[in-house]
Amino acid sequence: MNKPQLLAGLAAFALLSTPAAAQTAPEAVAEAALKRAPVFDGHNDVPWALRERVGNVINGFDFQDTTDTAKPDATPPVPMMHTDLARLRKGHVGAQFWSVYVPSNDDESEAVQQTIEQIDVMKRLVARYPNNLVLVANATELEKAMKAGKVAGMLGMEGGQSIGSSLAVLRQMRELGARYMTLTHGKNTPWGDSATDAPLHDGLTDFGRQVVREMNRIGMIVDLSHVSEATMKDALETTKAPVMFSHSGVRAVNDHPRNVPDSVLPAVKANGGVIMVVLYASFVDPAAREHGLARTAQKARLDAQYMGNPAAAEAGLKAWDAANPAPKTPIAKAADHIDHIRKTIGIDHIGIGGDYDGMDAAPVGMEDVTGYPALFTELAKRGYSQADLEKIASGNMLRVLKAVEAYASAHAGDPPGETPVAK
């Protein structure tokens, strides 16, 4: 055998002995995965963006293209929306939990009304684009819609104040289309502790546990983003169906109270739940978190220094912002959270919950919903297989949804939870 033939033979042998994933460019692995399993994202705040920007008056609102929605000259400046039909397609989004978020407040009756208004606006938006969007009631309908090329939607309530401490309201929200509920948001509810409020209940109260059991019975997913560590543990101890974290990172990578501590991860695995990794820069990137803390401290100092002169305090903060720009978060920071979950509890417990239109900064290259392929390419570069990526994109979330529905179906004959109403 001459030298050219020998070299050709060795090259062929090397190719045959190289794993298939290594022979394929990461971009191609990501593209193949997202074509087979489009993203089922855990959290998008379009309904709240519509409330904030246009007061839910949407008959003339163009959701096909929202790239003209920025108002840089407003005070404060209004950024461009992250989401529209064209960009959902480009980002390979096949299913979306639309968050019917309302702010945490002490007036639960107001929160209930606002939540119904947010459900209404999302239903009206979907109805305007029947060839592109659809709201579905269950996993079977969701998979059918995805196969038909539509963005299948479900509604998720963000914050337990939206049920007004009433199991009856919880059940009726489910009838209106809500398929998950985040037990708290930024503040405690009367029955559960938030991650970002002073502890009041040491987790869930007895009624809070009853809420979890009733959610299991009616087939609503228990969402543990935003809740305290104690609430996470109480909910995981109580639930009989898998849970989700609709948009959270892990504290081992970025020690933010919104993220999931390692002490909770084994219980998530035992429960069969899924952590849908958030893309909010301050949640995924320690540098962005530190910048935010420094800015908060500076604002407090200026407010104290210029007490009675808010214009001076505002000018001082503007000057600080100019001298201290926020760090740019690389996509690798989000991937680090995924790596940690896989290493700790396995590939079957990872999803994606972007938090688009509910955040002010995302990783560079993921500034809007077109960015999912870039994240999956980064994961492919790290050795994730196409099968791994398909699980992260939508397979794991679909498994959780089906398990929650199966539990509810098996317990359809159980009596509803009851608590006495005030006379």
Active site residues: 43, 45, 158, 185, 226, 247, 355
Angle at 147 between CA 144 and CA 151, to 5 degrees: 85
Cα gap 49→98, rounded to integer Å: 11
Q: 61-91 burial, b for 16+ CB within 10 Å, e for fewer?
A: bebeebeebeeeeeeeeebebbbbbbbbbeb
Rounded to whole angstroms, how far apart are CA atoms 267 and 273? 9
Count other C-beta atoms under 10 Å from residue 340's C-beta: 21
Task: Enumerate the H helices of 129-245 as residue ranges.
Answer: 139-147, 167-175, 206-218, 229-238
| φ, ψ for residue 167, nearest 5 deg | -65, -30
Task: Give the amino acid at 337.
Answer: H
**Assigned token pair, 38:** 């489009």
Give residue 280's Cα distance to chain centre: 9
Angle subtended by helix axes 372-381 and 331-345, to nearest 10? 60
| Helices 372-381 and 26-36, packing angle to 10 deg | 130
Residue with tokens 């790239």: 67
